[in-house]
Structure 1
Amino acid sequence: MYLQHFGMHSMPFALTPNTEFFFGLAPHVEALQVLQVALQTGEGFIKVTGEVGTGKTLICRKLLNELSDEFVCAWLPNPYLSPEELRAAVAQELGIVLDEVRDQLHLTGLIQQQLLALSAQDKKIVLILDEAQALPDDSLEALRLFTNLETEQRKLVQVVLFGQPELDQRLAQPAFRQLRQRITFSYQLRPLQREEVCAYLRHRLAVSGYQGRPLFSPRAQKLLAQASRGIPRLINVLAHKALLLSYGAGLEQVSDKHLRAAIADTEDATHAPDWRWLWTGTVVLVLLVAVGLLKGVAW
């Protein structure tokens, strides 16, 4: 593709949540700090919500990489599971052999025994669920019951929920008031501001090995921030397409023309108005009104 053309060794705007590209922007750092502090307290649910593409999965993986050896993590990236499937998935993550399980009651007992054994080793058990808004209602209740398992000193398991804003809407229902009261820490990810978008672009290009003059002009960065609404995934999509188009044209810098083409080709992007056509339309409208007024006077 364009790697050799721009002097890069890796794709700067891939959609895979690669922690090597993690950048310490305020919303992401704050979310990680909330998670780390909350996990040290050892109680209840922790919730991180944000719009699609704001970096929840990247933060999740960054957290998994940074937790110390005192933590035992069970990570469920796809939580669209029935209560039975949820228990089985947790058991597998905790190293329980499912072939020996007789029924759900037996499985719940094995999970509790494993949690007690890990707790006796001074281990903190964390259950992390990505895309938690997809959890069925029965599974949310089963998840709450997991947190009933405790010793006299502490809970045997903590639960971290990553989800879209729909998760907040679901938890606001009266049926989930017990679970909602157990959420001790929460954080809502916001989109990036314009200055953060510019820093984000520079950082990812630097990590990918780019060392030339700025690929995106200040005007292009402003347009990209507006079109992406500060959502990292959209920034990646638009920047990647713009680089492809610029490479195809043999350019060494992204042009406004190619960035606008990338925006027009991306359904979820906010399409900026073309001010040239808007100005032309305004002039025509003024002329028509003037002509109408003159006719009225003449009449």
Structure 2
Amino acid sequence: MYLYHFGLRELPFTLTPNTSFYLGLKPHDEALAVLLTALKTGEGFLKVIGEVGTGKTLLCRKVLNEIPEHFVTAYIPNPYLNPDELRRSVAVELGVKQAQRMSAQLLTQRIQTRLLELHSQGHSVVLIVDEAQALPAESLEALRLFTNLETESRKLLQVVMFAQPELNDRLAEDNFRQLRQRITFSYQLRPMTSSEVESYINHRLSVAGYKGAALFPTQICKQLTKASKGIPRLVNVICHKMLMLGYGEGQYQLTEKHLKMAVNDTEDTVKFSRFNVKWAFVALGTVLLGLGTGAILGGIW
């Protein structure tokens, strides 16, 4: 593995959303500020939209880590649930006992009782749904009905949805107009700029323990931004492969050749023209074979 070669303590470009690698870039800090402010003011429905790989789940975990102490959170990471499964998952998250055994009607009553109990103790309750675009239509309606639970002065339950742009397309349908009108704050995550990509790469390397000269020169970062479309997940994949290639060749400075090889071996990137893609696949495959494919791939995928 390339850790010792580059003086790293850990892999800097894994795909696992690790908040220790969080960098306060403008799009993510803005989204975080919008969410925390809206939650503090008691808004009912909040929405964060971002393309695949733009860091929604990392931001979701950052919110969970930084939300004020008086909040009680219910987190649904896999929302492909029917309405009954969704209600029971929320009940379990809120600490309702025997939630999986009681009838649907009793369950709804217990959820409301639990929310009132938490409210009387000075708590605010927020339900955070990741990958919300996967919610079935009936479950989206069940989610809206949750926000009907309220006192005279505030909602008993606030809902934050993290989703891909497909959710906007679904909510544009006429049958979702009631839910759509209840979304009081919305934020659209954008891709990173080239300067942000350079800061992002250097930050992750620093967190992972790197102390040497710049591994990814500014010009390489500009080309990498174009190839990855500024998507953090693709940046991670490309950088990981470039480090493998540099290590495989015994080099400490990454070059345009390493970038082209990594990009043309990675799905959903903007490929380099006039570059032998087949040669790139073979070259990277040779490096992987030499380093031990299982050990390397196990570190990132």
Q: What is the TM-score of this pair, normalised by structure 2?
A: 0.90
Q: Does 1:112 align with 2:112?
A: yes
The residue identity in structure 2 corresponding to 1:265 is D
The residue identity in structure 2 corresponding to 1:127 is L
CA distance in 2, matches of 1:5, 1:70: 46
Match of 1:137 in 2: 137
Residues 1-299 of structure 1: matches in 2 within 5 Å? 1-98=1-98, 101-274=101-274
CA distance in 1, matches of 2:203, 2:120: 43
The 8 Å contact of residues 47 and 161 in structure 1, kept in 2 or not, is answered as yes
The 8 Å contact of residues 238 and 266 in structure 1, kept in 2 or not, is answered as yes
- Count of residues in Structure 1 that have an aligned counterpart in Structure 2: 276
The 8 Å contact of residues 225 and 235 in structure 1, kept in 2 or not, is answered as yes
The 8 Å contact of residues 92 and 99 in structure 2, kept in 1 or not, is answered as no
The alpha carbon displacement at 1:272 in A equals: 2.2
The alpha carbon displacement at 1:100 in A equals: 7.5
Alignment RMSD, CA only?
1.2
CA distance in 1, matches of 2:112, 2:101: 13
The alpha carbon displacement at 1:219 in A equals: 2.4
CA distance in 2, matches of 1:215, 1:249: 15
Runs of 4+ in 1 over 6 A off after TM superposition: none
The residue identity in structure 1 corresponding to 2:23 is F
Kindly provide the CA deviation profile for residues 210-254 of structure 1, in whole angstroms up to 9, marking residues without a partner as x: 011111122211111111000000000000011001101100011
Deviates more, 1:17-26 or 1:91-100: 91-100
The residue identity in structure 2 corresponding to 1:119 is H
The residue identity in structure 2 corresponding to 1:90 is V
The 8 Å contact of residues 45 and 160 in structure 2, kept in 1 or not, is answered as yes
Q: Secondary structure at the match of 1:98?
A: coil
The alpha carbon displacement at 1:10 in A equals: 1.1
Consecutive unaligned residues of structure 1, counting only runs of 5 or more, are 277-299
The 8 Å contact of residues 228 and 269 in structure 1, kept in 2 or not, is answered as yes
CA distance in 2, matches of 1:255, 1:140: 48
The residue identity in structure 1 corresponding to 2:212 is G
Q: Secondary structure at the match of 2:214?
A: coil
The alpha carbon displacement at 1:182 in A equals: 0.4
The 8 Å contact of residues 91 and 99 in structure 2, kept in 1 or not, is answered as no
The structure-2 alpha-carbon separation of the partners of 1:243 and 1:119, relative to structure 1 and needing over 3 Å to count, comes to: same
Deviates more, 1:94-103 or 1:144-153: 94-103
The alpha carbon displacement at 1:98 in A equals: 2.3
The 8 Å contact of residues 264 and 272 in structure 2, kept in 1 or not, is answered as no
CA distance in 1, matches of 2:100, 2:171: 35
CA distance in 1, matches of 2:56, 2:275: 35
The 8 Å contact of residues 88 and 98 in structure 1, kept in 2 or not, is answered as no
Match of 1:289 in 2: none
Larger radius of gyration: 1
Kindly provide the CA deviation profile for residues 158-197 of structure 1, in whole angstroms up to 9, marking residues without a partner as x: 0000000000110011000000000000000000011111
Deviates more, 1:94-103 or 1:148-157: 94-103
Consecutive unaligned residues of structure 2, counting only runs of 5 or more, are 277-301
Q: What is the TM-score of this pair, normalised by structure 1?
A: 0.90
The structure-2 alpha-carbon separation of the partners of 1:123 and 1:132, relative to structure 1 and needing over 3 Å to count, comes to: same
The 8 Å contact of residues 50 and 164 in structure 2, kept in 1 or not, is answered as yes
Match of 2:293 in 1: none
